[in-house]
Amino acid sequence: MAAKREHFGSRAAVIMAMAGSAIGLGNIWRFPYMVGEYGGAAFILVFILCSFILSFPIFLSEALVGRRTHSNAIGAMNKLAPKSFWTILGYLSVITPTIIVSYYSIVGGWSIEYFVKSLSLDFGEFRPAGWTPLLFNTIFLGLSCIIVAFGIKGGIEKFNKISIPLLFVLIVLIMVYSLNMPGADKGVEYLIKPDFSKLTGRTFAFALGQSFYAMSLGMGIVITYSSYVHKDENLVASGVGTVIAALIFSVLAGFAIMPAVFSAGIAPSSGPGLVFQTLPHVFSSMGASSPLVATCVASLFFFSVIVAAMTSSISLIEVGVAYLVEERHFTRSVACLVVFAVTWLLGLASVFSVEVFGKVDAFSSNFLLTAGVLLVVLFVGWKMKKEDVRDELTNSGTINRKVFGIFYFLVRYVAPITVITIFITNLVL
């Protein structure tokens, strides 16, 4: 007899898990430097609009596929569209997070390394590639897999219940300190006064891509996590909670980092190295006058980066683990070991080459995620029966009836056209 499938214990647990997948390095590492490169406050406005108008209905599309089937990403498509073209969506939804976690864990490793360095404020030169990053990458990936090995309630749910509230407290503390640094007002102005002259097709493309990244869309995560959601749960309410949590944390991360960047006279468009190359200089300069305060702030910051990275990495790992457990009948422990080995080997090229790392990140963010999102909205909007979509989103007509029409229009028409446009823009740009 097959083992009884686990479920999240409550709506709060669902939101914590979903928010845990959404709140991660995409917010605390990627969002600030994207804001810096693509227009400051103008980028933030576009990002927020994209999140509500497009990413939210796409999130619900993935969520209803997962909950309707109570299966992993591949199993879900085998149930809804067996032996058809659409099984590609299932396989892509497992392949994409596997590739992402192979380099995502490297950044997680950087965060552990810099947390250790922050204790002595001896950061040295940022070395993103080599044997030391490989060591810390291995530690980070191993810890993530151990959490997943404990299961949904014993591992993922328990970790997120502690880590997400803690993460919000940490980022608020860092923000308060950052806002009180000399010259921080310039960073605040950069974040709240939009320069619409900087809005280009590239801005919209990257804002939507960042929205997908921040909401964990196109990665199979929402499908997988939603498969652990009870049938009586309100998907729209859970989705709203997740979107709001992700947006708030992204903005808080911006206000925690950008004022410090401007205070130190650092260019906001410093790119992916913004957190690991520029902020250590800020902490080191602080240490000259207040070493104890600088040590506390620096260690607090990099500890929050570790927690943020971990909440997302466990969700990425769970996608592959769920597939191996349900479709290949592995035990959860063995499945975690297999995922660890595969992602560690895939990450070797990225951990020894910054150029490879950048190309894998760009390919994953701009193409794999976009392709996955496009297939999801086309499947839900055009392949699934409208009655089935309505039944799942409204819990058999008992809730969300008024919002269904808007949701279905956005998924069927607006989302595909927009995603295709963004996909073409990424190819051209």
Instruction: Write the pLDDT tens digit of every residue in 295-351.
Output: 888 888 888 888 888 988 999 999 999 999 999 999 999 999 999 999 999 999 999
The pLDDT value given to residue 1: 38
The pLDDT tens digits for 252-268 are 888 988 888 888 787 77
Q: What is the pLDDT of residue 54?
A: 92
CA-to-CA distance for 406 and 80, rounded, in angstroms?
Answer: 23
Nearest to 179 by CA among 165, 163, 192: 192
Mean pLDDT value across the chain = 88
pLDDT, residue 311, reads 86
Dmax (CA) of the chain: 66
- Our measurement of the distance from residue 121's CA atom to the centroid of its chain's CA atoms, rounded to an integer in Å, reads 29
How many Å separate Cα 331 from the centre of its chain? 27
- Residue entry with tokens 């070991």: 337
Set out the domains of the chain in order of their start, with CATH numbers. Answer: 11-428 (1.10.4160.10)
Q: What whole-number distance in Å separates Cα of residue 348 and Cα of residue 352?
A: 6
Between the two ends of the chain, the Cα-to-Cα distance in Å is 53
The 3-class secondary structure across the chain, one letter per residue, is: CCCCCCCCCCHHHHHHHHHHHHCCHHHHHHHHHHHHHCCCHHHHHHHHHHHHHHHHHHHHHHHHHHHHHCCCHHHHHHHHCCCCCCHHHHHHHHHHHHHHHHHHHHHHHHHHHHHHHHCCCCCCCCCCCCHHHHHHHHHHHHHHHHHHHCCHHHHHHHHHHHHHHHHHHHHHHHHHHHHCCCCHHHHHHHHHCCCHHHCCHHHHHHHHHHHHHHCCCCCCHHHHHHCCCCCCCCHHHHHHHHHHHHHHHHHHHHHHHHHHHHHCCCCCCCHHHHHHHHHHHHHHHHHHHCHHHHHHHHHHHHHHHHHHHHHHHHHHHHHHHHHHHHHCCCCHHHHHHHHHHHHHHHCHHHHCCHHHHHHHHHHHHHHHHHHHHHHHHHHHHHHCCHHHHHHHHCCCCCCCHHHHHHHHHHHHHHHHHHHHHHHHHHHHC
Give the whole-angstrom CA distance, residue 307 versus residue 335: 23
Token representation of residue 272: 């992916």
Predicted local confidence at residue 264, as pLDDT: 79
User: Which pLDDT does position 56 carry in this prediction?
Assistant: 93
Distance CA 126, CA 116 (A): 14
- Tens place of pLDDT per residue across the chain (429 aa): 345 667 777 777 777 777 777 777 777 777 877 887 787 888 999 999 999 999 999 999 999 999 999 999 999 999 999 999 999 999 999 999 999 999 989 989 999 999 999 988 888 787 888 999 999 999 999 999 999 999 887 888 888 888 888 888 888 888 888 898 888 899 898 888 888 887 887 788 888 888 888 888 999 999 999 999 888 889 998 888 888 888 888 888 889 888 888 887 877 766 666 678 767 877 777 776 788 888 888 888 888 888 888 988 999 999 999 999 999 999 999 999 999 999 999 999 999 998 999 899 888 877 888 899 999 999 999 999 999 999 999 999 999 999 999 999 999 999 999 989 888 877 776
Q: List C-alpha distances in Å: 90 to 1, 147, 410.
A: 25, 24, 22
Q: How far is it, in rounded angstroms, from Cα 394 to Cα 331?
A: 35
Number of neighbours of residue 25 by Cβ within 10 angstroms:
22
Q: Report the 3 state secondary structure along 118-141.
A: HCCCCCCCCCCCCHHHHHHHHHHH
What the block records as the tokens of 387 is 């009655």
Nearest Cα residue to 316 out of 144, 175, 193, 142: 144
Q: In the prediction, which pLDDT does 273 show?
A: 66
pLDDT at residue 254 in the model: 87
Which tokens is 417 given?
């056209």
- Written as six digits, the tokens of 199 are 């809005």
Q: Are 121 and 294 in contact (CB under 8 A)?
A: yes
Evaluate whether 198 touches 325 at the Cβ level (below 8 Å): no
pTM (whole model) above 0.85: yes
Tell me how far apart the alpha carbons of residues 350 and 248 are, in angstroms, rounded to a whole number.
31
Residue range 152-164, pLDDT digits in tens: 878 888 888 888 8
135-166: burial string, b at 16+ Cβ within 10 Å, e else: ebbbebbebbbebbbbebeebbbbbbbebbee
Tokens of 257: 């980092």
Q: What is the pLDDT of residue 361?
A: 85
